[in-house]
Amino acid sequence: MVTQIELGDVVLEVLKKDIRNIHLSVYPPTGRVRLVVPERMKLDTIRLFAISKLAWIRQQQKKLREQERESRREFIDRESHHVWGRRVLMKLVEADEPATVQLRHSTLLLTVRPGTDEAGRKAIVANWYRQILKAEVAPLIAAWGPRLEVEVSGFYVQQMKTKWGSCNPSACTIRLNTELAKKPKECLEYVVVHEMLHLLEPTHSDRFMALLGLHYPTWRESRAMLNELPLADWPGVSPTELDQPTG
């Protein structure tokens, strides 16, 4: 059950779960705040913790408000899009043949049947993003599995409302946001390694951060690059998170 705590202008959603760490998240695009805490934690303790993090929460909310956002895409001729961090211009061609998307240097060639509406064009491009992302993820997992000494049983690519990626340690699977196909490839590698490390440590504990620093020492630079890029015009961006042990 979710309850709320109001601290001046900041409203926190509080959820109690069977966990050991306190997990604080600030979600884009509006700066919604969620606090997941151990079931045994008392309300007064939760409130004191939230008060101690107010400055951090407000700082993250300010960053989200100021972050650049992509304009709405209509998937029309001469419209700009992003592929692997590069800006490309769409060329729309209508032809009586199966729909295709091709990247040709700085041009994204979208071929559709005559009369295909905006929703249809968007779906075709979204599917193409999924396919190019899958093609990049598979070799990354194959390369990093032996280095991390973990085995990923499967991965999934989909639009995600609040995260760049997620991990299911019990099933040994990871999920990745299709928006990553628009970001530089080093951002994708960082997210893949991050999620694979959750197979060793499910939470963002001190142990997890130590593992991340050991295996991917440039993670801060990659995360900063990812978070500084424009937010998408549809859901699919990650929260700013803070995990803290209860003691």
Comparing 95-104, 119-128, 162-171, 210-219, the range with the smallest average pLDDT is 162-171
128-229, what's its fold?
A: Zincin-like (3.30.2010)
Quick check: bond before 202 cis, omega within 30? no
Q: Which residue has the higher pLDDT, 232 or 145?
A: 145
Q: Please report the pLDDT score of residue 247 as a whole number.
A: 47
Q: Please report the pLDDT score of residue 237 as a whole number.
A: 47
Q: Kindly state the percentage of the chain with pLDDT values over 70.
A: 89
Comparing 19-33, 117-131, 208-222, 228-242, the range with the smallest average pLDDT is 228-242
Q: Please report the pLDDT score of residue 227 as a whole number.
A: 73
Alpha-carbon separation of residue 228 from 14, 183, 235 (angstroms)? 28, 11, 16
Average pLDDT over residues 161-180: 91
Closest CA to 230 of 95, 91, 78, 67: 67
- With beta carbons less than 8 A apart as the criterion, state whether 145 and 196 touch: yes
pLDDT at 121 over 70: yes
pLDDT at 70 over 70: no
Comparing 57-61, 82-86, 212-216, 217-221, the range with the smallest average pLDDT is 57-61
Helix (H) or strand (E) holding 22: strand 21-27
Q: Kindly state the percentage of the chain with pLDDT values over 90.
A: 68
Domain boundaries, the chain: 2-66, 128-229
Give the burial string for 162-182 (b: 16+ CB within 10 Å, else e): bbbbbbbeeeebbbbbbbbbb
Average pLDDT over residues 103-117: 96
Terminal CA-to-CA distance of the chain, rounded, Å?
Answer: 24
Q: Please report the pLDDT score of residue 234 as a whole number.
A: 40
The angle that helices 43-52 and 54-66 make with each other, rounded to 10 degrees, is 60
Comparing 18-27, 122-131, 167-176, 196-205, the range with the smallest average pLDDT is 18-27
Helix (H, G, I), strand (E, B) or coil at 140: helix
Strand order in the sheet with 173-177: 154-158, 173-177, 165-168
Q: How far apart are CA 242 and CA 52, in angstroms?
A: 13
Q: How far apart are CA 30 and CA 101, in angstroms?
A: 33
Average pLDDT, the chain: 88
pLDDT band with cut points at 50, 70 and 90 for residue 235? very low
